[in-house]
């Protein structure tokens, strides 16, 4: 039987140990389920006094095997395994170390009792993949711990073994070697009477609907249109209000509906995409990252400070170089204040703060600091002359072989590299603001960038907690280049009938963290104005808003008015500016439907994304989606712009783009050759077989 290979059956006297052995994380693939079933039956036949389930390697189990999703299910199912556990006359215990997540925790919940190592993580993260726990987790956990189960299931956040013990779903926390301690615990406790979770009533009695609904409302307040948190609420509610078997049916209905739904497909697309995007197809296998023990960041402003904090947060010593002691002090203080806020909120210990602070240093001695660097990231003003001057100096001061990276958001990496004698060691490392928070890192490959330089940028990005995605060199790279293309349509929408709040409402109910106009206010409207001035382009509404002294949140007014708590309020002045302009430009205003707003904001980005793929600026469509989800507030449950296009269908995308290009006179919306081709072939971005070369 194939299961034996995936579940080892060991006998420690009369305690039988079944070890899950499906590296690396013991997912519950078919063979594991079969092995468990066989093992449980065999142990009973052989007269075991107790059966202990434990994981090989670093985890108990990370849950279901995601690659089996959407394929015909092979028996035995998890519920069949759980039935065998619950019908067993011999008590079955789970011994948890590392993680017990999703189906892994559900397996443990079906057991007669659970023990765990200190610090083990237990949770039901299904909600984050767009569905609900599907093997009884929503029914058993509430029966073990009551209303607290709602928080764990709706948030999807794991808790530690210690917290789980306090809540009541871990029976003992055992230090030392887990198997050894758990076998002893099992032997000692085998004779006890255990009430299975399914038979427990004490925690679900006296259901208080008002209290439940209030808790549910709080927990789902930030779902922004995501369905799975509501599915979790419905399933958990059934645990309190219906018999166990009927509750299981409610859970199953929610699971089946959600797992096949678009949102969970989108979340899986992003889940796998984030791994895929870190694989660089044309990087030679022997490309090795250069060793980095000290990072030097040039410039301690908004970005430099954030980058330095990221390094220190992940244990990498870092030095900030500034032009004056005053600027340096300001930069270091900002980092300290930021960390202190985290300490005050209880999310960082004082000891951890001190550890991070000790890893961060600063200097105004450029040459000395750079001479000691293993990697330099430049984050000075966005000005080519300044950057070239800095890179010329960096090249002279840095040891040979050290990679010099720029955090520029728009400037040409090749031109920056030309100021050095080591263009092969120059790359872009484009962080996003706030750099200590945002996960995305667009690494930019210049025409001379060597595999070793790219491997180093990738490796360091991962080491300091980022998600590096390699892109090609062009104005705005991938993310900013695509979002920039929304501008003309947003201007037209404002003139034709929308107000800022209409556009932001549609985009936020789609799930965006923040609508485009509110985002503009946050970044500062003068930035866009400066770019337009440099490029000689106009945006009548934006220009008029800036001319009225409305630069965004920093002046307490932009597209919106802001009160003293930075709450945004619709602005009558902006409405008047827009209406006056529309009249002057003889645009007849009309009511614009939400769907049209959504399409006219998103489709220009899709078209530009296709152009980016044609030019080989991104390797794969998934890279673009990963960039938007991790750097631009695109909700993961919507899957990103290219996923959006695929769901609409490329033929519809083509037709809509052509239609909007014609009626709005925006030539940028002419469908690109790639979209024309995919529409004609009935293809999609997901199945695109591109050259995958950047
Ligand atoms: P900033 O003005 O906040 O900081 C720049 C800092 O660099 C200043 O403190 C300045 O004193 C210092 N500096 C200037 N010349 C220097 C030199 N020769 N040596 C040492 N320090 C020097 O600017 P920022 O917002 O942090 O942007 C920095 C870079 O990051 C720019 O290239 C920008 O385009 C890019 N970027 C910014 C954002 C953003 O949202 N702010 C996002 C991504 C990338």
Catalytic residue among 106, 148, 179, 322: 106
Angle at 230 between CA 225 and CA 232, to 5 degrees: 140
The C-alpha atoms of residue 52 and residue 93 are separated, in whole angstroms, by: 5
Q: pLDDT-derived band of residue 594, with 50, 70 and 90 as boundaries?
A: very high
- Ligand 1 centroid, distance to 290 Cα (angstroms): 25
ipTM: 0.98
Q: pLDDT-derived band of residue 224, with 50, 70 and 90 as boundaries?
A: confident
Residue in 319, 380, 396, 514 to alter for ligand 1 test, most ligand atoms within 8 A of Cβ: 380
* pLDDT tens figures, 405-415: 999 999 999 99
The C-alpha atoms of residue 598 and residue 575 are separated, in whole angstroms, by: 21
Query: Residues 275-291: what's their mean pLDDT?
Result: 93
| 529-537 contact pairs (CB < 8 A, 24+) | 531/410
Q: What is the distance between the terminal CA atoms of the chain, rounded to a whole angstrom?
A: 47
* pLDDT tens figures, 55-64: 999 999 999 9
Mean pLDDT computed over every residue of the chain: 96
- Structural contact between residues 22 and 58, judged by C-beta atoms closer than 8 angstroms: no
383 C-beta closer than 6 A to ligand 1: no
- Ligand 1 centroid, distance to 305 Cα (angstroms): 9
Burial class (CB in 10 A: 0-12, 13-18, 19+), 295: buried
- Ligand 1 centroid, distance to 428 Cα (angstroms): 14
Structure tokens at 420: 């050095």
What pTM was estimated for this model as a whole? 0.90
- Ligand 1: atom nearest CA of 330 is 9
Catalytic residue list contains 126: yes
Q: What are the strands, taking DSSP E only, across 124-187?
A: 159-160, 172-173
Give residue 601's Cα distance to chain centre.
23
Structure tokens at 175: 């230090």
483 C-beta closer than 6 A to ligand 1: no
Q: Mean pLDDT check: name the lowest of 66-70, 235-239, 345-349, 435-439.
A: 66-70
Structure tokens at 195: 């009430």
Specify the pLDDT at position 1. 46
The C-alpha atoms of residue 178 and residue 20 are separated, in whole angstroms, by: 14
* pLDDT tens figures, 538-593: 999 999 999 999 999 999 999 999 999 999 999 999 999 999 999 999 999 999 99
CA dihedral 625, 629, 635, 636 (to 10 degrees): 70
Structural domains for the chain = 4-193+200-259 (3.90.226.10), 295-476 (3.40.50.720), 498-584 (1.10.1040.50), 595-687 (1.10.1040.10)
* pLDDT tens figures, 160-217: 999 999 999 999 999 999 999 999 999 999 999 999 999 999 999 999 999 999 999 9
Catalytic residue among 31, 126, 322, 491: 126
Cα Rg of the chain, angstroms: 28
> Using CA positions, which residue lies closest to atom 22 of ligand 1?
299
- Ligand 1: atom nearest CA of 303 is 26
- Structural contact between residues 574 and 550, judged by C-beta atoms closer than 8 angstroms: yes
* pLDDT tens figures, 321-338: 999 999 999 999 999 999
- Ligand 1 centroid, distance to 300 Cα (angstroms): 7
Asked if the model's pLDDT at residue 654 lies above 50, the reply is yes
The C-alpha atoms of residue 145 and residue 200 are separated, in whole angstroms, by: 10
Nearest C-alpha neighbor of 144 from the set 120, 114, 188, 117: 114
The C-alpha atoms of residue 38 and residue 41 are separated, in whole angstroms, by: 5
| Percentage of the chain exceeding pLDDT 90 | 94
Query: Residues 34-45: what's their mean pLDDT?
Result: 97
The C-alpha atoms of residue 329 and residue 621 are separated, in whole angstroms, by: 43
Nearest C-alpha neighbor of 229 from the set 129, 298, 367, 139: 129
Residue in 296, 297, 299 to alter for ligand 1 test, most ligand atoms within 8 A of Cβ: 299
């Amino acid at each position: 039987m194939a299961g034996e290979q995936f579940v080892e059956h060991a006998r420690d006297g009369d305690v039988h140990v079944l070890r899950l052995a499906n590296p690396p994380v013991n997912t519950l693939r078919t063979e594991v389920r079969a092995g468990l079933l066989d093992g449980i039956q065999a142990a009973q036949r052989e007269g075991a006094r107790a059966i202990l389930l434990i994981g090989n390697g670093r985890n108990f189990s990370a849950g279901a095997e995601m690659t089996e999703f959407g394929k015909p299910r092979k028996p035995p199912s998890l519920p069949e395994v759980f039935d065998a556990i619950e019908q067993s006359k011999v008590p079955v215990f789970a011994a948890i170390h590392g993680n017990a997540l999703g189906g892994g925790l559900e397996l443990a919940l079906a057991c007669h009792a659970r023990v765990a190592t200190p610090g083990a993580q237990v949770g039901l993260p299904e909600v984050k993949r767009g569905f609900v726990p599907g093997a009884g987790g929503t029914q058993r956990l509430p029966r073990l711990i009551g209303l607290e189960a709602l928080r764990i299931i709706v948030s999807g956040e794991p808790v530690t073994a210690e917290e789980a013990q306090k809540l009541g779903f871990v029976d003992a926390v055992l230090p030392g070697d887990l198997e050894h301690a758990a076998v002893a615990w099992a032997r000692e406790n085998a004779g006890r009477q255990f009430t299975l979770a399914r038979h427990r009533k004490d925690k679900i009695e006296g259901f208080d609907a008002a209290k439940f609904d209030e808790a549910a409302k709080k927990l789902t307040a930030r779902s922004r249109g995501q369905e799975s948190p509501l599915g979790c609420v419905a399933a958990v509610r059934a645990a309190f209000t219906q018999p166990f078997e009927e509750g299981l049916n409610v859970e199953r209905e929610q699971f089946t509906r959600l797992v096949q739904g678009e949102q969970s497909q989108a979340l899986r697309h992003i889940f796998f995409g984030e791994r895929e995007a870190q694989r660089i197809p044309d990087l030679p296998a022997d490309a090795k990252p250069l060793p980095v023990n000290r990072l030097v960041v040039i410039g301690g402003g908004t970005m430099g400070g954030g980058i330095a904090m990221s390094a220190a947060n992940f244990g990498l010593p870092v030095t900030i170089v500034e032009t004056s002691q005053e600027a340096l002090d300001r930069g270091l203080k900002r980092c300290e204040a930021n960390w202190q806020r985290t300490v005050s909120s209880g999310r960082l210990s004082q000891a951890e703060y001190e550890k991070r602070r000790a890893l961060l240093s600063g200097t105004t001695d450029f040459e000395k600091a750079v001479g000691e660097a293993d990697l330099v990231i430049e984050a000075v003003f966005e000005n080519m002359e300044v950057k070239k001057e800095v890179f010329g100096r960096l090249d002279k001061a840095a040891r040979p072989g050290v990679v010099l990276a720029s955090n520029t958001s728009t400037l040409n990496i090749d031109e920056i590299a030309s100021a050095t004698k080591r263009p092969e060691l120059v790359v872009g490392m484009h962080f996003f603001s706030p750099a200590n928070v945002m996960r995305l890192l667009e690494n930019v490959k210049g025409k001379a960038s060597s595999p070793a330089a790219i491997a180093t940028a990738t490796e360091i990005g991962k080491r300091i907690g980022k998600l590096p995605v390699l892109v090609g060199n062009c104005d705005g790279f991938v993310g900013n280049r695509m979002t920039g293309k929304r501008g003309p349509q947003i201007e037209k929408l404002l003139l034709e009938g929308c107000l800022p709040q209409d556009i932001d409402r549609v985009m936020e109910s789609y799930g965006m963290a923040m609508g485009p106009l509110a985002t503009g206010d946050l970044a500062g409207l003068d930035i866009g104005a400066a770019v337009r001035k440099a490029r000689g382009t106009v945006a009548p509404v934006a220009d008029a808003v800036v001319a009225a002294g409305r630069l965004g949140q920093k002046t307490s007014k932009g597209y919106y008015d802001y009160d003293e708590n930075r709450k945004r309020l619709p602005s009558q002045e902006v409405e008047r500016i827009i209406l006056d302009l529309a009249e002057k430009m003889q645009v007849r205003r009309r009511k614009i439907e939400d769907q049209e707003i959504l399409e006219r904001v998103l489709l220009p980005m899709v078209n530009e994304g296709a152009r980016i793929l044609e030019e080989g600026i991104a390797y794969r469509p998934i890279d673009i989606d990963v960039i938007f989800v991790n750097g631009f507030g695109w909700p993961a449950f919507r899957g990103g712009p290219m996923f959006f296009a695929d769901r609409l269908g490329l033929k519809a995308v083509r037709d809509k783009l052509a239609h909007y290009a014609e009626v709005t006179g925006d030539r940028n919306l002419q469908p690109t050759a790639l979209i024309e081709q995919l529409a004609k072939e009935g293809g999609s971005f997901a199945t695109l077989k591109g050259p995958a070369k950047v």
